[in-house]
Chain A
Amino acid sequence: DQQVKQNSPSLSVQEGRISILNCDYTNSMFDYFLWYKKYPAEGPTFLISISSIKDKNEDGRFTVFLNKSAKHLSLHIVPSQPGDSAVYFCAASGGSNYKLTFGKGTLLTVNP
């Protein structure tokens, strides 16, 4: 049973516009949420994270929003750039073992 779900396998956005990537989770014990970015032929790299005690964390063009009651988080990228084109993985940890549980990923394509 998937505890972290990214229901959109792909997203296409125009350069300069906002990209919104969504993630849902089912395990109420998760208290840390992370986004990783993966380019082809490379391993995932950490992008941004948020603790469950916050509802927003911002780092430059990237902002993560957390809605605990809905068990939903989203990653906003604004403005989107062609170099942002990659697969974005949502991940969560917490509960008894603090191992990362990943979603399937969303392929973001930013068109020039």
Chain B
Amino acid sequence: ETGVTQTPRHLVMGMTNKKSLKCEQHLGHNAMYWYKQSAKKPLELMFVYNFKEQTENNSVPSRFSPECPNSSHLFLHLHTLQPEDSALYLCASSQGARVGLNEKLFFGSGTQLSVL
């Protein structure tokens, strides 16, 4: 139990589908993140929410739409994705948004997404 739960673990979708990824953290943290891990690439930060407010959008295409209804839940709504969007999508949380020596990211297990 990592304290950060992601569902579903695996998702296969067509390019015309609409789906959502869900993340829930049980750590009492205030900041939540979406990261994307593609094969042979670094983890890429997509979005940051701090106290439910979006504080960072790392030039992510609009076909990815995040939602943070409260500090414990984070969603990533997907629509009209492309095959190159196939990747592992990781949710993370931290107590504060300034990550460094005393502030760590806690990750969920990820959703492995395949877009056909």
Contact = CB atoms under 8 A, between A and B. Distances in A.
A97 B56 contact: yes
Contacts of B104: 34, 46, 49
Contacts of B6: 43
A100 B101 contact: no
B107 A43 contact: yes
Given A89-B43, A103-B42, A42 B109 contact: yes
A99 B56 contact: yes
A43 B108 contact: yes
- Chain B interface helix/strand/loop/mixed: loop
B72 to A, nearest CB: 17
Interface in B83-110: 90, 92, 97-101, 103-110
B4 A43 contact: yes
B2 interface: yes
B42 A102 contact: yes
A70 interface: no
Interface of B: 2, 4, 6, 9, 40-43, 45, 48, 56, 90, 92, 97-101, 103-110
Interface of A: 2, 4, 9, 31-32, 34, 36, 41-46, 49-51, 89, 93-94, 97-105
26 contacts: A31-B100, A32-B100, A32-B101, A43-B4, A43-B92, A43-B107, A43-B110, A44-B105, A44-B107, A45-B107, A49-B101, A89-B42, A89-B43, A93-B98, A93-B99, A93-B100, A98-B97, A98-B98, A98-B99, A98-B100, A98-B103, A99-B45, A99-B99, A100-B99, A102-B42, A102-B43
